[in-house]
Amino acid sequence: MTTTTPVSSTSGPTPPEGVADPTQAHIDLTDAHAAHNYHPLPVVLASGDGAWVTDVEGRRYLDCLAGYSALNFGHSHPRLVARAAEQLQRLTLTSRAFFNDQLGPFAKALSELTGKDVVLPMNSGAEAVETAIKVTRKWGYQVKGVAPGTARIITMRGNFHGRTTTIVGFSDDDVATADFGPFTPGFVGVPYGDIDAVAAAIDDATVAVLFEPIQGEGGVVVPPEGFLRALRELCTERNVLMVADEIQSGLARTGCTFACDHEDVVPDVYVLGKALGGGLYPVSAIAADHDVLDVVRPGTHGSTFGGNPLAAAIGHEVVQLLATGEFQERAWVLGARLEEGLRGMVGAGLVGVRARGLWAGVDVDPALLTGREVCEGLMRHGILAKDTHGSTVRFAPPLVATESDIDLLVVALRTVLEVARR
């Protein structure tokens, strides 16, 4: 494995005149006027190109978070930027009170990518999950015949589907739920990857099983082999909708177009977002067949910005990028390289590694460092990553990263761990 060092640069924005420390100035300004619902690393980014970003002082970093997989195609991908710029000069918003010339082509392309009849576009990933909840409940009442007001949806413990009041209500993360109740009823949680627990939880009022094929926020947690196939069979047998939240795991991140593809499974509903907007614009959607999505009628659901021409143009370009298979292949190749490097550190600072495609979660020896401390150390070596749940760190570089970029990440992590072990 080759050893590389971060590329230094003096390019980038000029610090404001008279400001001795522009990084701290931006941090102070943000802390003073923006709500403290995040705890960022002390870096202020100003530009990005491909897998790399540059801060306000000209320092460059390899982005190994990629906007929680929203930036699968990297920063400022030329095709996406060009398509967005073109559409910006033509038409950006009509609302769905009128047709526009971009939504139809986008919907057709996304339907073909997912193999589903129709799509329902929204904006954020959380909105797409809320849409799936509404649609599956309505399906339960109108198609399955569940008694009014009794629909139940099975969810998985350790899940992360967003932060609306409904969604956090079925989270088992105390930070996400504390002081936000009362919560929406109608959800029952079971252990992730436990097909027997899912089967036991299904009753006559169950309309759907909502799950992540891989739990991203949980630390890239991959279910047991065969779980997705067993879940597909169970949902079919019990007349329950299988709803796959592929917001982080989908669109080439794991080496396949969708993470469900690893077990040749097709859910009843795909929930998509993040990379669907190419890192340029919030675009999300659910995709399903007519027997599910036809329960939605005019007035029952919508969004001022959902399906707008700019979003549709960008989303269509994203689908065309995915249609080549190039990004799925890169995730396989780069992911194998990353996983090999990470597994070599098990017993030397790491106690666990989980990977699927170019997406990995590592568990750091908690006696050595916290996840936050690891990310702070990586930042000093030109790597940006994100911790979760104590001593777990996630890596999701853009799929346009190079082999040397992956080597740089591995070398930097090994260095951080070695320093801590001395």
- Look at residue 19 in the predicted model and tell me its pLDDT: 73
Instruction: Give the confidence band of 384 by pLDDT, cuts at 50, 70, 90.
Output: very high
| 57, 142: one domain | no
Domain boundary residue among 269, 289, 323?
323
Look at the chain and report how many structural domains it folds into: 2
- Look at residue 20 in the predicted model and tell me its pLDDT: 84
pLDDT at position 11 over 70: no
- Token pair, residue 387, equals 């911790």
Domain housing 82: 78-323
- Token pair, residue 397, equals 């570089």
Whether residue 380 contacts residue 59, with contact meaning beta carbons closer than 8 Å, is answered with no
- Look at residue 9 in the predicted model and tell me its pLDDT: 42
Average pLDDT over residues 302-311: 97
Catalytic residue list: 160, 245, 274
pLDDT at position 12 over 70: no
CA dist., res. 48 & res. 78, Å (int): 12
| 113, 189: one domain | yes
CA dist., res. 50 & res. 72, Å (int): 10
Domain boundary residue among 261, 291, 323?
323
CA dist., res. 379 & res. 162, Å (int): 27
- Three state DSSP letters for 299-356: CCCCCCCCCCHHHHHHHHHHHHHHHCCHHHHHHHHHHHHHHHHHHCCECCCEEEEEEC
- CATH number, domain containing residue 361: 3.90.1150.10
- Look at residue 291 in the predicted model and tell me its pLDDT: 98
Q: Which of 202, 195, 99, 105 is nearest to 152 (CA)?
A: 202
Whether residue 266 contacts residue 115, with contact meaning beta carbons closer than 8 Å, is answered with yes
- Residue 398, preceding peptide bond in cis (omega within 30° of 0): no
Q: Are strands 52-55 and 45-49 parallel, antiparallel or unpaired?
A: antiparallel
% of the chain with per-residue pLDDT over 90: 95
| 344, 294: one domain | no
| 89, 157: one domain | yes
Average pLDDT over residues 256-283: 98
pLDDT at position 8 over 90: no
